[in-house]
Amino acid sequence: MKKLSVLLIVLLTAFSVKAQVNVLEIEATGGKTQINKNIYGQFAEHLGRCIYDGIWVGKDSPIPNVNGYRKDLLEALQALKVPVLRWPGGCFADTYHWRNGIGALNERPKIKNVFWGGTVEDNSFGTHEFLNLCELLGCDPYISANVGSGTVGEMVDWIEYMTSDDDVPMANLRKKNGRAKPWDVKFIGIGNESWGCGGDMTPEFYADLMRQYSNYAKMYGGDKFDRIGCGSNGSDFNWTKVLMEKGRNNMDGLSLHYYTIAGEGWNNKSAATGFGEDLYFSGLKKALFMDELVTKHSNIMDQYDKEKRVPLLVDEWGIWTDVEPGTIPGHLFQQNSMRDALIASSTLDILNKHCERVKMANIAQVVNVLQAMILTQGNKMVLTPTYHVFKMFTVHQDATFLPSNLICEKYELNNDQIPAISSSSSIDKNGKIHVTLSNLNPNKEIKLDVNLKGKGFSKVSSATVLTASAFNSCNTFDKPETVVPTSFKNFKKASDTKLEVTIPSKSVIVLELE
C-alpha cells in the first residue's frame, strides 16, 4: 500500500509538471536596466517609394499634406511615438552628396540612384526636409555620413551646416536657406555597410578610416552627437573584433545589420504573401537567430569594453522577401503579413532582453520598402501588421526591463522546432507592469501561467491582441483592416501574483498589470 501511494505521488507530480509546462516567471522587483526607447527606431532610405510618394509628396500635391509631408503618414508616425529616424541610407548614403539637397527646390540638381533601380531623383527631399520632419515627429535624427564616395571635408561641412551656431560659412549658408537655429542632431553614422556597398573595405582599412572621420566629427561637432561606427554584416564576428580592437575609443556606438531571409537564401527568398507553413516557420526561426548574433557580438565587445560604454546598435533589421508582382525589383516594395508581425514582436523581445548592451535598433523600413510600417498608393494608406506591433510595444519604451524565466512548449515542423512563445516584461515609471506575449504556433492556442515574484497586482487594466485568420493574412488597400488589434479578454486572475492566459494561435498580446 505504501509503495502504491509513493507511485501515485510520483505520477501525480509528473502529470502536474507536464500540465504546467508553459510558465512565465517575472522578477517584478528585479529590474535594473532601462529599455532604451531607441530600440523602437525607424529607418528611411532613398529607396523605391520610401521618400518620394511615401513620406514626401510636395506642397503642391493633391494628396493632403503638411508642408509637403503626407498628412496621413505624418499622423500615423506621430501615433507610433517614433524615437529615432535614420537617413539618408543605407547604400544610398555613400553616394549622397548633401549640398545637392539644399537651397531652392528648382535649383537642386538631379541624381541617379545607382543602387536602387536607377531612379532619377530631384533632391526635393534633403537636409532641411529630413530634419524638419524629425522635429514634427518629435524624434531624434540619425544621419548616415558619406564615407564611401565622400570626403572628411564634406562630412565636416555637413556637421557645421546642421549643428553650428557660430559665424562660419556653413552655418551662415543654413541661415540663408531659411533655418536660423541649428538642429539637434543626435547621431552621426560613419559610413554604412563599408564591408559591402559602402566601399567593399576590409575591417582593418575601415577601422583606420573610421578613426579619421570620427576624429574630425568630434573636433567640429563636440559632444553634440554620438559617432556610430559601421559594424558587422550578420555573423561576421571578426569585423566586430577588429573594430573594437582598433577603434573602440573613436566611436560612441557600433552597428549591426541582420535581415531575415525566409527560404533558401538571397536568390530564393519567400514571397511576402501566399506562402505556406514551411516559409512561415523558416521566417520565424531565422528571425530568432538574432539572439545568438547579439549575444556573440556582445561577448566580443565585452572583451574590450567591460563597462559597456560602446552600445550595440542594430540599425538595419527585418524580413526581406520577394517584391510584389508587377513592381520594380530595385524598389523593394513588399507586402506585410501576420508572419512579419510575429517576426517583429519576437525580434523586439530579443532586443529588449539585451538592453544592457543594445541601445538602438532601426527596422527597415518606415514606408513602402521591405518590412514597412506603412504602405501607400496614391491617396490611400495602409497600416501594416508590423505597425500595429510597434504601436502595441510602445509601452516598453524607456521602461525598466524585468528579468523573467520562460518555460514553454515547442512549435515543431518537419523535424525542426522553435520555442512556441516569446515574451518581454517591463515596469514603467508609474509602477505599471507590461507583459507582451507572442504565440508563434499557427495551429493551436496555448495556455500560459504568468507568475510575478516579489510583487503582486490588483488588476489587468488593459489587454490587447493582434491576430488573424491565417499566418499569411495582410492588410491591403481594398481591405486595410484585416489584421488589426482588438480587445483581449481570455485571461483569469488566479491570485495576487498569478495570471492565467490563453494565447490564441499566431498572435501578439500586451497586458497591463497594476
Q: What is the pLDDT of residues 411-427, one digit of tens each?
A: 999 999 999 999 999 99
**Which residues belong to the active site?**
193, 316
Contact of 357 with 301, CB cutoff 8 Å: yes
Q: Where are the domains of the chain?
A: 22-31+402-513, 37-398
Q: What is the pLDDT of residues 153-205, one digit of tens each?
A: 999 999 999 999 999 999 999 999 999 999 999 999 999 999 999 999 999 99
pLDDT of amino acid 48: 97
Reported as a pLDDT band with limits 50, 70 and 90, residue 265 is confident
Contact of 228 with 213, CB cutoff 8 Å: no
pLDDT of amino acid 247: 97
Give SS3 for 345. helix
> What is the reported pTM?
0.94
pLDDT mean over 316-324: 97
Block residue for cell numbers 500635391: 61
Residue 479 has pLDDT above 80, yes or no: yes
Q: What is the C-alpha to C-alpha distance for residues 389 and 508, in angstroms, rounded to an integer?
A: 8
pLDDT mean over 455-481: 97
The sign of the CA dihedral 513, 345, 475, 281 is negative
Strands 404-407 and 23-27: antiparallel
Contact of 27 with 403, CB cutoff 8 Å: yes
| Homologous superfamily of the 37-398 domain (CATH) | Glycosidases (3.20.20.80)
Closest-CA residue to 240 (of 296, 291, 197): 296
pLDDT mean over 97-102: 98
Q: What is the pLDDT of residues 392-418, one digit of tens each?
A: 999 999 999 999 999 999 999 999 999
For residue 372, give the amino acid letter. A
> Cell numbers of 159, please?
556637421
Q: What is the pLDDT of residues 437-454, one digit of tens each?
A: 999 999 999 999 999 999
Reported as a pLDDT band with limits 50, 70 and 90, residue 264 is confident
Q: What is the pLDDT of residues 332-387, one digit of tens each?
A: 999 999 999 999 999 999 999 999 999 999 999 999 999 999 999 999 999 999 99
Contact of 253 with 229, CB cutoff 8 Å: yes
Please say whether the structural domain 22-31+402-513 has been given the CATH code 3.40.190.10. no
Q: What is the pLDDT of residues 290-317, one digit of tens each?
A: 999 999 999 999 999 999 999 999 999 9
Q: What is the pLDDT of residues 357-368, one digit of tens each?
A: 999 999 999 999
How high does pLDDT run on average in the chain?
A: 95
